[in-house]
Amino acid sequence: MKFSVTEIAAAVQGRVLGDGNTVIEGAAALGEATAKDVSFIRDAQKADVIELYRASKAGAIFVPKDFQFDARTAIVVESPIAAFCHILSIIAHEIDIRPHGIHASATVSPSAKLGRGVSVGPQCVIESDAVIEDGACLMAQVYVGARSRVGANSLLYPQVVLREGVSVGKNCILHPGVVLGADGYGFFFAGGRHNKIPHVGGVVIEDDVEIGANSCVDRAMTGTTVVGRGSKIDNLVQVGHNVQIGPLALLVSQVAIGGSSTLGAGVILGGQTGVADHITIGDGARVGGRSGITKHVEKGATLFGMPAKPVAEELKLQALTRRLPEIFKEVRKLRELIGKNG
């Protein structure tokens, strides 16, 4: 990348303050930027951010409209983070190496349907009646099972596995090692052993979903496991069979969702949160990291803890827990006092 500050401002509909001829070749955080980098200021109200801004060596900085400027070169924009991400996308496009066309080592079933501009990398396997829509890209060693579908312009990184009957929407990103459509964890005990429950349902990943590395979404026993539009799933997340996740959910690393649970629109689960089977979490609910959800959660609730409780209640309990040694000593003294006076 090599643009003048003026060119960058035009690309993000910003306004230049200072030297518009400064040449920018990269992007970096305030504390890491050099004179050839553009950076951004996220929160102009925080003193530590302002200190970083003043000390930064960045060649130009995206700043919000209400920011108090100094003499340095800046680009005034509606949203500094959005402008910065636009520049990052340009850099990502320049360094991204994707396959072009169908690699000679790929195995594509004669009954599979590939759209226009599809890219299939080395050693990919596309099984019978699978559909890969226009502009989709499969990096090396991706497996697409029979009757599965990959939506237009979706990107599947190396070693992604879609088992049979999985549908991935448009503009999705699946990071390395994602597995969609493995059997759910279902068994019944009879005859002195654990017997497998067949899982014959499917998985639907709606449009604009991103799923992090080594995360798994299990197929339904019957029916469909669904991840809603625009949801973002971190690395190492487990979504059980028949789970229904609404649009715009955020699931942070190591979240585990038990089978047949339902998450409403915009639900946020912090890292290492566990959700029991058959739980309903209402729209907009937020759950802090390392929490356990064992009961239904109301719409808009904010919970934390094991088991999860309203945040204020959990924090009070934690504060009291830290005082237990002190409280125990006081109780022992009271018992001794009562014993002497009894």
Residue-wise pLDDT tens digits, 201-252 = 999 999 999 999 999 999 999 999 999 999 999 999 999 999 999 999 999 9
Q: Is the pLDDT of residue 270 over 70?
A: yes
pLDDT tens for residues 179-198? 999 999 999 999 999 999 99
152 and 213 in a single domain? The answer is yes
Cα–Cα distance, 154 to 150 (Å, whole number): 7
Average pLDDT over residues 107-132: 98
CB 293 within 8 A of CB 275: yes
The count of structural domains within the chain is 2
Inter-residue contact 9 to 68 (CB < 8 Å): no
Question: Are residue 148 and residue 85 in the same domain, yes or no?
Answer: no
pLDDT at 341 (0 to 100): 66
Q: Pick from 35, 69, 95: which residue ends a domain?
A: 95
Q: Locate 87 and state its tokens.
A: 């520049």
Give the model's confidence band at 73: pLDDT under 50 very low, under 70 low, under 90 confident, else very high: very high
> Mean per-residue pLDDT for 145-157?
98
**pLDDT at site 44:** 74
- Residue 339: inside a domain: no
Residue 133 sits in the same domain as residue 70: no
Question: pLDDT tens, 60-69?
Answer: 999 998 887 6
Identify the CATH number of the domain in which residue 46 sits: 3.40.1390.10
Instruction: Write down the residue that tokens 């949801």 correspond to.
Output: 231
Per-residue confidence (pLDDT) for residue 340, from 0 to 100 = 65
Residue 119 and residue 75 share a domain: no
Catalytic residue selected from 103, 241, 278, 296: 241
Same domain, 81 and 207: no
Residue 297 domain flag? yes
- Is-catalytic flag, 93? no
161-162 vs 143-144, strand pairing mode: parallel
Residue 318, in any domain of the structure: no
For residue 321, tell me if it sits in a domain: no
pLDDT value at 342 more than 60 = no
Summary mean pLDDT of the chain: 94
Residue 85 reports pLDDT greater than 90: yes
Residue 36 lies in a domain: yes
CA distance 301 to 267: 10
What integer pLDDT is reported at residue 297 of this predicted model? 97
- Residue 135 sits in a domain whose CATH number is 2.160.10.10
Q: Is the pLDDT of residue 301 over 80?
A: yes
Domain that holds residue 31: 3-95
Same domain, 218 and 300: yes
Which pairing describes strands 15-17 and 74-77: parallel, antiparallel, or unpaired? Answer: antiparallel
Do 46 and 131 sit in the same domain of this protein? no
Instruction: Mark whether 185 and 209 lie in a shared domain.
Output: yes
Answer yes or no: do 129 and 267 share one domain: yes
- Split at pLDDT 50, 70, 90, the class of 48 is confident
Give yes or no: residues 22 and 170 share one domain: no
Regarding whether 177 and 28 lie in a shared domain, the answer is: no
Domain end call among 35, 64, 95: 95
User: Is residue 331 domain-resident?
Assistant: no
Q: How confident is the model at residue 72 (pLDDT cuts 50, 70, 90)?
A: confident
Within this chain, do residues 83 and 135 fall inside the same structural domain, yes or no?
no
Establish if 69 belongs to a structural domain.
yes
- Which amino acid would we find at residue 195? N
